[in-house]
Each structure stands twice: as C-alpha cells, then as structure tokens.
Chain A
Amino acid sequence: MFLTYLRRELRRRRKAALVVALGLALGIGLVITVSSVAAGMRDAQDEVLHSLYGVGTDLTVSKEADESDGGPQSFRIGPGKDGEDATKTDDRLMPLGGFQHLDDSVVGEVEAQDGVDTAVGALALNDIEFKGDFQQGKIEGGATGQAVPGQGGGGGGGGGPRIEGGGADIDVDSFTVTGLDVTQQDVGPLSSSKISDGEAFGTGDTDALKAVVDSAYAKDEGLKVGDDVTIKGKKFEVVGIATADTGAATANVYIPLERAQQLSDADLQDKVSTIYVKADSSEDIPAVKDAIDENVAGASVTSASDLAEQVSGNLSTASNLATNIGKWLSVVVLVAAFLLAGLLTMSAVGRRVREFGTLKALGWRSGRVVRQVMGEAFVNGILGGVLGIALGVAGAYLVTTVAPTLDASVGPGSDMPEGAVMRGPKEMVDAANSTVEVALQAPVTLSVIALAVALAVAGGLIAGLFGGWRAARLRPADALRRVE
C-alpha cells in the first residue's frame, strides 16, 4: 500500500513534485558545479606546483643568502692589447643569486631524516655570454692616427685633440643551466618533464658532457638531439629533449651535477643550491619538514603547501572565488532550496488535510501517515538529486568545454606576504618563466556525486520532516471538521 499510494500521489501531483525537485536540483547542481570547479582549481594548482616543483618532490631544502652573498658581477672584455679592432667574448657560468649553497653532505643529512624516502641535490646556474665587436677610436686634431684603446664616442672639448669613432656592439646571451643528480632522476628538477625526444641521462653519466634541453628552449635555439650546446666553453651533446608537463620548465639546459659544479665560475665544488626531497608518504611531509628544520642547520624547507600559498595570478583569484563566494552561494541556494522544498511539502500536506484526517479516522497511526509524507518527500529529493546531478554535470562539462585559461605566478609578481621569501624552486622559476598557464577543468568525481546524493537525501528528509511534522499534528476531528 505504501508504494502504491506513493506512486499514485507522485503521479497525481507531478507539477508540485517537479517544482520541489527543481528547487533541490538547482541547489544540488550548483554545489556539484562549484565543487567540480573547486576541484579543478585544486588540480590546476597541483599542476602548477608540480611544474614548478617536480612531480614526486614533496619538499625542497635550500639556504637563504646572507647579505655578503651576491652583489654585482663584473665582466671584462675589450679590444686586443695591440689596440686593433677585435671580437671578444666572455662566457660565465654563475650561480643564481639570492641563496647560499649547501654542501653535498647536507643531502645525506637530509636523506637520513625519518620519513625521507629520497633526497637529491641540484645546482642552479646561469650561463651568460658576452660577445663584443670592438672598434678603435681615432684622435682628431692632434697626433693623427693614434688609437685610443677602450674609448669611443664623443671627442674631447676645446681646441685640443678629440676622439672620433670607435665603440663596441655587445651581445648578451644567457640561459639557465641546472646540474642534477643523474642517478636519481625521478625526484628533482627534471621530474616534472618528460623526455619527448632522445633519451634521459644514464645513471653512469655523472660527469658526462651530455645535456638534456627543454623543448621550448630547443625550439627557440633550433637545437635537436645530436647537436651541441656550449656551456662555459665546453661542448655538451644534446642527448634528449625534455617537455615540461605544464607551463615552464625548471631550466633551459640540464647537465650532470658534477659537471655543473666543475664548470661554475664560483667555487661550487661539492655544492648544491637546492635539495629535492621525497617523503615516504604524504602524511609524513609535515613531520619531515619539522625534522629537517630542526636537525639540518641553516636549512630552509619549503613544502608544496607553502608554495601554494605563494601562487598568485587569476588561478589564485578564481580559486579563492570558487572556495569562498562559490561555497557560500552554494550554501545559500541549498538552504533556500531545502526551505522551499520543506514549505512546499507542508503546503501539500495542508491541501491534503481531509485525506490524512480520513486515514487517521480509519485507524492509521500518525507514524504511518508521516512515513507516507516523508516517503513522497524523499522521492522528490531523489528526483531533485538526479536532476541536480544532471544540471551539475552539465555545468561542469560546460566549464571543461570552455576551459578558460588561468595563469599562476610564483615570484616577484606574486602576492607573497611581506617579508616572505620564496625559497627552493623560485630560483629556477625566476630563471625560466615564473608564470604558468593551465586550462581549467571541472572534474565530476565520485565523491562529488556521493555528496549530491547525500544532499538529495538530506533535502528530501528535511522537506519530509516539515510535511511530516504538520501531518503528525493533524487531529482527525479537526481535519474532518475543517472541510465540512
């Protein structure tokens, strides 16, 4: 009887049932869309972090620079000693400024901490090549033909001899180089890239003159596998082209760590700039971070969540919108939908006073009447849930189809808190490209569907409680008297 009565009532009150279901559907659909977009934002942020950080890397360890580090770097290039016109070059492989370097031994110390699975060191460098064509200046108005090395441009004043002509055209070519541990490539700067052509380093290539080049840089420079790239005067054979999973790569050129340490103009033998750490499990990350902070002197540890807080750009803005406004909008719409469903169910019970009064007169217990009302409301809730899931999935599909591009930045342009210092990968990000673009997806996960079903059930039950409460309070005599 319960199911027959339920089915007939829902069929009879199709429009009312549809209004209740649509109200719930709107709320549930919005929750699904917002949840999916928020999940997409999180995925996008993860993607950004992975591209900046390296898949498989949970923490980075670096050492903040003190005031004595860095400072302007000097280059000396000029014409030949004999004063003739000449083309001169100066190729420097300099550490990226802003950080002290860590001894190789710290990598071992970090790896020895509880909860650490792998720790590898990397050295971030910048290859800067200055190339100048120098021309001699001429002294006019005095001893003719006397060359003045190193001076060009304007002449002297007054009636004395003056310098005419001369000067230099200087080209500056720079690219970033990262030395990495070729024996552990699943963690570290190259782990967020895939080898799209050629091959990766072999584990025996510790001091090989081999290089892996980022695909974007290779395209710009016309490099391909088998070509050479010159770093500090040394030719490295390009053995592989690496394509970053998303956005920008960590560096333009990757070479074995030992080679990078040897070639650096600074004394960086046995030094690394960043240690990449993979924890045993994600649950261990906070403890590992604390352990390294405590046990490794002078180390600054950055986790993905630290980095996430320093990601800015419209991805960050959109994420905040989805998290804050989206969440509250969903809550408001959902509460309104629940209330609407409850009031409509109460109103429906009000229109069926005689019916329920009659049933009570026939000996139906209040509980049975309430169960009937709640059953109807529950089915309305489920119907609303189904429609809501359809609406929500459609909304998420629309977002995924349109796939708006969001950018995320870490670095000078980011909204870093005052006094905060971006450590670890920042040096590499700055060197390559600190802005990463990702297309927003809105994945509808099983947990989101489960949430929708739970909301539908809750909505139905809340509506049923409203209606049931009213039905339970009906006294048969009042119900029958009211319609006489």
Chain B
Amino acid sequence: MSSRSGAGLELRQLGREVGGRCLLDRLDLQVAPGECVALLGPSGCGKSTTLRLVAGLDPASGGQVLLDGVDLSGRSPGERQVAMVFQSYALYPHLSVEGNLDLGLKVRGMARRERQRRIDATLELLQLGELRQRRPAQLSGGQRQRVALARALLRQPRIVLLDEPMSNLDAQLREDLRPELRRLLCGREQPVIYVTHDQQEAVGMADRIALLDAGRLQQVGSPRELYTNPANRFVAAFLGRPAINLLTIEPGRQLGLRPEHLRLGDDGALAARLLRREWWGHQQLLWFDSQWGTLRVLTAPEAPMPQEPRLGWQRQHELWFDTESGARLAA
C-alpha cells in the first residue's frame, strides 16, 4: 500500500439524496493504489449507492470523487475509466463471450487486430478460451462471473468496482473464487472497492473494511481493528459470527462480550443454565440462559459441562456501549 499523498481514489464528503431521503451522508474514504477496500453493511446501507456515485452512474448531491488528485465529478461514466462488475454480471445476452468483450473496445474505435490481441490475452488469463463462442445463457454462474471480470479487466481500468460479485454463486464456489479474485484484482495499481454484505467475503478480500449503516460510515479500518476495537455497538454487532452478546447490566450502559471470550467453568461470575447446544465439529456453540438474558458461548467441541455451569471473562475483553446511542464508552 503506497501512501503517496493524493494518489489513489479519494471520496470527499460524498453524498446522495433522492426526494428528501438521504441515501449516503457525506462519506469520506480513501483507497490507495492497489488497495482493496470492502464496503460492508446491511442492504440499504448506501454501499451500492456509493459505488454508483464513484462510477458516475448516478449524480452526487454533494462532495467529490478524486482520482490521483483529479476531480472526476463532471465526467461521464465512460470517461472515468472505471470498471464495474455487477451482481447480475450484466452480460449482454445476445452476444457471445467474445462479443461481450469486444463491444466496449469496438465503440472506442480500436483497431481489429489490437482488440483481438487483448481479448485473447484476457480470455487466456481467466481460462475462458474454450467458451469464447458461447452465449451467457449457456454458461454456469461461475463462468458468467469470470466473463464479467474479463470484461472489466480488459479495458485496463484505473478504478475497479465490484458490486456483490459473488452473491449469486453458491457458498463453495465463492470460497474457491476468492483467492482467484484477489490474484486478478488486488495488488495492481488500481484502487479496488468491493461491495458486499457478507463479512467473511469482506475479510477474505479486503485490506480494509468500511462499515456503513443507514447511509453513514460507521468505521473504517483493518478487519482486526474493527473486530477488536469497534467504534460503536453496530460495528460490534455486525462483525463476528456468532454475534456478540449484548447485556444490559446497569441502566444506560450495555456490556458487549464476544462468544469466544466467555469461559465455561464452575467458578465464573455469572450463573447460567444450558438451553441448547450446536455442535459444529471444530467448535461448539452453547446457548445459556442467565439473569442478564440469553448468552452465546463458543467452546472447544469436547469441552466438559460442569454440574452447575458458570461463565467468566477477562476485563480486557469487555466492550461498553451507551444504551441509547450505541456509542462506545470507555471501560
């Protein structure tokens, strides 16, 4: 990650409002050249809106998009040299794989031989050579996704945007494709923004994660920063599966304890009663009832269950939040 000032992509106070409804509220975000930042959040949080603003597909109602210090605001999507992979892949259904790749180059008036050379190279890179004559309808989901990727990379874009590129694929394929995607996209010169609602994907793909909710940036940082040092209750609750336990112990304050930080024994601070057990093989998830409500606890798969189970934890793992605002409080 280079930190040359001004290089890369910078969103400055970027906002979008439609009909009095705020979809994105003054977002500030920097993506260094070669860096992959994941925009993460629940649906409707503004992550796709952000992507469309960067691409120039929708007009911003405020703020700027800067690439290497140059404001892109007045430029049309075609002039921004942005490549985008859509959730639906958006392949042209009436054109073959080759035709899909060729159209964008053709309309820019590139010579036939140069086009062919580039298409061949990209098809080679993505191992799509044998499918070049197929129509999108004749391809599997994973193949379509690769074609969409090929189309994006072909134009040697200066920014790469991915809008939930894997959400239409099954879980196994998603895991298999992740390293390939990283190899193809990240670590080149372009900044990459990867939109997803899946935290595993965000952690697997991105150098940094920007977590959004209701059009507002909640926190941005490495996955480790967000997990261990969440800025507020939303961040703490969104990241981590099984989710963090939020306990209202005293008025006005909530205690957050991650399931893996709770220790099962017979000498803990909190008496608990076992409700349910989910056995996952490498771990087990235990559900307990206690005076502060239901608690999730992760333990080793073969952990012994005491006669009178009690739960304990270390002070350093306590995360305190304001009950009203959800803001993080000092311990």
Q: Do A and B come from one complex?
A: no
**Residues of B bordering A, CB below 8 Å:** none
Listed in ascending order, the chain A residues whose CB lies under 8 Å from chain B are none
